[in-house]
Structure 1
Amino acid sequence: MGLTLQGFLDLPSVRDARLEEAVAPGAPDLAVRWVHSSEIYEIGPLLSCGDLLLTTGLGLAGVDAGARRHWVRELAARRVAGVAVELGRSLPDLPAEVRDEAARQGLPLYVLRQVVPFIRICEEANGAILHADAPRLRMVDRVLGEVHAALAAGGGTPEVVSCAAAATGGPAALVTRSGQLVAAAGVGGQRAAERLLRRPAASAPVRLWDVEWGAVLLGTGPGTDPAGLQLLAARLASVAAVAVGQSGAGSPGAVAAPLLSDLLADAVPGTRELLVRAGLAGFHPSPEARVLGIAASAPDPRQVLASWAHLAVSAGLELLADRVRGEALGLVAVPAAANRPDPAGWLAAALPEDNAVTTVGPVVPLAEAGHSLREAHDALPIATLLGRGSVVTRDLTLLRLLGRLDDRALTRIVEDALTPLTAWDAAYGSDLVRTLAVHLRYGGSRTRTAEALHVQRQSLYQRLARIEALLGRPVDDPTSHEHLVVATSAVSLLDARARQSAGVRRRR
């Protein structure tokens, strides 16, 4: 514990000055940060919280009562620890308005009846403050030495917090700007970790490239005090920035693409590295948010990235995106919201197409972001082949499986299930296969099927009747539903491949 207000009053030099209390402090254990002496009237803005002022009142002698009250209010606004006025030639007595205003503001006020050189009081008081700080400084230097040694031996962020926890006997943590826990030590369990995140005894921001990446959090331990913990947190934050920076390279703009590339290759070894590198890239999803991978194929990926950034800003989403091997890849963090029960479907509908094909992966926690990104990327070729615009990967599951088959295998599936329909369409120029595919896609809803095909419902009824007659069974028969869905999906793949081949031949 440093010098308190009561400790200041007990100093020999202060007792020699025959100090008398004019306005009592609210708490005698109020910390004194530093002791100053000054005679200028405008001293208030130059002082800091916890400072104590010694004055003869020379600056108050030539001003009126209103100015004196203003002087007291300025000192109170700076939250100084107290003011001691030496009575004598400048102020034979303490002005009543000074005493009254100090009482109104809750500013501790004292008078000194005996002349004692202020330099003696300042030396004694500030020496005591420095002496109290010495153990803190030694503790901080010891911890920093241990951290530097650990980093030199190949350690990282876990060593930063473990050294702090070992020295203080209390919990320590490193968190991202959004509160994601990167590393912790000395934390007894989940509840203790949550308490540290909510109300740390000391904290300091970790900054890289002039951007706030996260923070060092410290909890109380045996023999620690708030001032010592805050000093340690501030010094650790600088070292933590180095440890965090070792996980990335270059500037923030140079971090996103390598991270996305590593996620695509499943080469990010754990959640800790993911959190660190995502934070370096400016991606700070909240702990409650869910993450979706997105991938897009477009003539100009930069245009896609710009449209994603615009959506993120307008919808308040966290976005990490960049161009990787000619494709636009990204992670989007969607906060939980009652009006978004299906974040993937919502995002697919919200994404502008911009002459691009975009796939949206499944909703996952941040730790599984790589899985969602890989799903989105793996589904992109099928979505591009089919020209689907923006689509959720779950809607392409069957098509992705069928896409592993060659044309011969797909043709056999179609022939086994749909030969009567394909023959009828070839003979009469009808559209029965497509009608069946749309009908199955909309779950057998005749209204939605008619709207999608842009036909009257009576025309749809006639088509469905023809289909059932040719197949010899109802189109809504549960026993044949899967067979028909697979077959119509195979048709769409064969048609898409045929269009692709024709396009290649035309370009040649």
Structure 2
Amino acid sequence: MALTLAEFLLLPSVQQAKPEVAVAPDQLGRAVRWVHSSEIYEIGPLLSAGDLLLTTGLGLAGADAGARRHWVRELAAQRVAAVAMELGRSLPDLPGEILDEASRLGLPLYVLRQVVPFIRISEEANGAILHADAPRLRLADRVVHEVHAELAAGGGTPAVVSRAALATGGPAALVTRSGQVVAAAGLRDQRATERLLRRPAASSPVRIWDVDWGAVVLGAGPGVDLPGLRVLAARLASVAAVAVGQSGTGSPGDLAAPLLADLLADAVPGVRELLVRAGLARFHPSPDARVLGIAASAADPRQVLSAWAHVARTHDLELLADRVRGEAVGLIAVPGALAQSDPAGWLAATVPSDGAVTTVGPVVPVADAGRSLREAHDALPVAALLGRGTAVTRDLALVRLLGRLDDRALTLLVDDALAPLLAWDAAHGSDLAQTLAVHLRHGGSKTRTAEAMHVQRQSLYQRLTRIETLLGRPVDDPTSHEHLVLATCARSLLDARQAQQRPRRRRPGG
């Protein structure tokens, strides 16, 4: 890939030119990527980092001091490895302004006292660079060939890094854009993984369909030098793109719905495939993120998806969402800090609920994303039955369990606990059973119950007294609490089922 500046100065053709140091480099181990010779004044922007320039200064001979300083500044801005200036033909002496500007900017500068054709120096230096590259290229070719063979045999993405680690003797990993490790080899523990991701010896981006999916990262090992690692990383990135691309077809915009459908069907075999396919669909949760499944039933799922996208953009959250079987489903990733509080409750309160029934699953690690999505989706029918706008699945857990019972079993459970209240309500047109349900749902707080029912606290006290008299026990008695909660929940479910079965009244003229 390169030879060092020290090695360049020791080349026979360079030694014949009698090089002298005008501005010393910070280190002689500085890499020379390629050697160029040019006499044009505007050469600076045409060079790249690591290039070395040979010049006689012909393009500077008629320039003033300010122009010569500008010439040096452009070379330094390109981070060239060094400049070697032959004195005598165009410039008899090194101009002071060039020496001063190069010293100020730390640009290594050499003067050549003897005339040696630049073509000889360039051929010898660049030949040495190419010769040094040959073993590195052979190593990269061998590793890539082995990876292709494993991929053909169904090895998958782990083959990319396992072969690299075996060849270099150092660690290797394939990571998504957000730093999620999809495959790794040569790493002892999590700390070693974190060190590799923080300071890799070489890395190269993996791009698929012009999507910045992730990267191949390599650590130092005894089997190859740093330039060789860079060559290998670049070659492996292309192979990794093929391996990752085998996990999906089409374009990134087409991959969200199939992945979400497979998660709903519990058909994604492991976290590796999940991360690969999520990255292809442009979903990049950070390594410390937690995810929540979200599902919605609406007349127009596109409006729901648009609202979710707006929430994600506003709060800088990763979102993967699409329509699956006519419903809007998705995953939302929240940072680790937010996941410490109540992200499910926060999301339920943040997502618009107009015209849709929405359910939010539990917050889980990325590996369990499918479980949260399935819980959110499975809770949709119950949420729709109860007329909930947006609900967290934990708040529907009891209703979902009771939903497995038929109407007769639910009726028996209600009558066993609430018969006196239902009889009183039927005879007096009151709503004591509903008052009890709201009171239990608000944890027995009289203040919150009164606010929820929009009644005065004194009126609530009278209702609770009547309820306890009819039931023959305090409503906050721990021994009866669970029974009453089950019964009031069963009653709400029965009422919802009956309302659903009741024929809708036709509109006049309909």
TM-score, normalised to structure 2, is 0.97
Determine if the alignment matches structure 1 residue 98 to structure 2 residue 72: no
Which residue of structure 1 lines up, in the alignment, with residue 499 of structure 2?
499
CA 1:338 to 1:177, structure 2 compared with 1: closer, same or farther past 3 Å? closer
Q: Deviations over 1:235-265 (max 9, x none)?
A: 1111111111110111112111111111111
| Residue identity in the other structure for 2:167 | A
Which residue of structure 1 lines up, in the alignment, with residue 28 of structure 2?
28
Q: What CA distance in whole angstroms lies between the structure 2 residues aligned with 1:458 and 1:403?
A: 36
Which residue of structure 2 lines up, in the alignment, with residue 357 of structure 1?
357
CA 1:272 to 1:339, structure 2 compared with 1: closer, same or farther past 3 Å? closer
- The 5-angstrom pairing of residues 375-394 of structure 1 reads 375-394=375-394
The structural deviation recorded for 1:117 is: 1.0
The structural deviation recorded for 1:216 is: 0.6
Which residue of structure 2 lines up, in the alignment, with residue 153 of structure 1?
153
| Residue identity in the other structure for 2:28 | P
Q: Deviations over 1:389-443 (max 9, x none)?
A: 1111111111111111111111111111111111111111110100110011111
Q: Deviations over 1:146-184 (max 9, x none)?
A: 111111112211001111111111111001111111000
Which residue of structure 2 lines up, in the alignment, with residue 336 of structure 1?
336
Q: What CA distance in whole angstroms lies between the structure 2 residues aligned with 1:286 and 1:272?
A: 15
Q: What CA distance in whole angstroms lies between the structure 1 residues aligned with 2:483 and 2:397?
A: 15
The structural deviation recorded for 1:96 is: 2.0
- The 5-angstrom pairing of residues 149-228 of structure 1 reads 149-228=149-228
CA 1:76 to 1:276, structure 2 compared with 1: closer, same or farther past 3 Å? same
| Residue identity in the other structure for 1:313 | R
Give the number of aligned pairs. 508
Which residue of structure 2 lines up, in the alignment, with residue 318 of structure 1?
318
Q: Secondary structure at the match of 1:205?
A: strand
Whether the 8 Å CA contact 2:196–2:217 is kept in 1: the answer is: yes
Which residue of structure 1 lines up, in the alignment, with residue 296 of structure 2?
296
The structural deviation recorded for 1:493 is: 0.6
Q: Deviations over 1:443-498 (max 9, x none)?
A: 11111111111111111111111111111111111111111111111110111011
Whether the 8 Å CA contact 2:2–2:34 is kept in 1: the answer is: no
- The 5-angstrom pairing of residues 54-69 of structure 1 reads 54-69=54-69
Q: Secondary structure at the match of 2:347?
A: helix
Which residue of structure 2 lines up, in the alignment, with residue 270 of structure 1?
270
Determine if the alignment matches structure 1 residue 305 to structure 2 residue 305: yes
Q: What CA distance in whole angstroms lies between the structure 2 residues aligned with 1:215 and 1:358?
A: 36
Q: Deviations over 1:309-343 (max 9, x none)?
A: 11111111111111111111111111133696111
Q: What CA distance in whole angstroms lies between the structure 2 residues aligned with 1:498 and 1:77?
A: 77
- The 5-angstrom pairing of residues 412-451 of structure 1 reads 412-451=412-451
Which residue of structure 2 lines up, in the alignment, with residue 111 of structure 1?
111
Q: Secondary structure at the match of 1:362?
A: strand
Q: What CA distance in whole angstroms lies between the structure 2 residues aligned with 1:108 and 1:301?
A: 63
Q: Deviations over 1:184-227 (max 9, x none)?
A: 01112221111111111011111111110111100000042221
Q: What CA distance in whole angstroms lies between the structure 1 residues aligned with 2:383 and 2:78?
A: 64
Q: Secondary structure at the match of 1:309?
A: helix
Q: Deviations over 1:92-131 (max 9, x none)?
A: 2222222222222222222222211111111111111110
Q: What CA distance in whole angstroms lies between the structure 1 residues aligned with 2:506 and 2:479?
A: 43
**Coordinate RMSD, CA, aligned:** 1.5
Whether the 8 Å CA contact 1:359–1:391 is kept in 2: the answer is: yes
Which residue of structure 2 lines up, in the alignment, with residue 469 of structure 1?
469
Aligned-pair identity (%) = 79
Q: What CA distance in whole angstroms lies between the structure 1 residues aligned with 2:272 and 2:397?
A: 31
Which residue of structure 1 lines up, in the alignment, with residue 11 of structure 2?
11
Structure 2 unaligned regions, length at least 5: none
The structural deviation recorded for 1:354 is: 2.1
CA 1:313 to 1:170, structure 2 compared with 1: closer, same or farther past 3 Å? same
Q: What CA distance in whole angstroms lies between the structure 1 residues aligned with 2:237 and 2:119?
A: 36
Whether the 8 Å CA contact 1:206–1:213 is kept in 2: the answer is: yes
Q: Deviations over 1:59-86 (max 9, x none)?
A: 1111112211221222122221211111
Which residue of structure 1 lines up, in the alignment, with residue 410 of structure 2?
410
Q: What CA distance in whole angstroms lies between the structure 1 residues aligned with 2:251 and 2:89?
A: 63
Q: What CA distance in whole angstroms lies between the structure 2 residues aligned with 1:179 and 1:449?
A: 47
Q: Secondary structure at the match of 1:204?
A: strand
Whether the 8 Å CA contact 1:303–1:354 is kept in 2: the answer is: no
| Residue identity in the other structure for 2:335 | P
Q: Secondary structure at the match of 1:288?
A: coil
Q: What CA distance in whole angstroms lies between the structure 2 residues aligned with 1:22 and 1:476?
A: 91
Q: What CA distance in whole angstroms lies between the structure 2 residues aligned with 1:144 and 1:122?
A: 31
Which residue of structure 1 lines up, in the alignment, with residue 396 of structure 2?
396
Q: Secondary structure at the match of 2:292?
A: strand
Q: Secondary structure at the match of 2:184?
A: strand
Whether the 8 Å CA contact 1:340–1:346 is kept in 2: the answer is: no
| Residue identity in the other structure for 2:99 | R
The structural deviation recorded for 1:2 is: 3.7
The structural deviation recorded for 1:25 is: 2.1
Q: What CA distance in whole angstroms lies between the structure 1 residues aligned with 2:340 and 2:112?
A: 68
Which residue of structure 1 lines up, in the alignment, with residue 41 of structure 2?
41
Q: What CA distance in whole angstroms lies between the structure 2 residues aligned with 1:30 and 1:180?
A: 33
Q: What CA distance in whole angstroms lies between the structure 1 residues aligned with 2:503 and 2:380?
A: 19
Q: What CA distance in whole angstroms lies between the structure 2 residues aligned with 1:93 and 1:397?
A: 87
Q: Secondary structure at the match of 1:361?
A: strand
Which residue of structure 2 lines up, in the alignment, with residue 484 of structure 1?
484
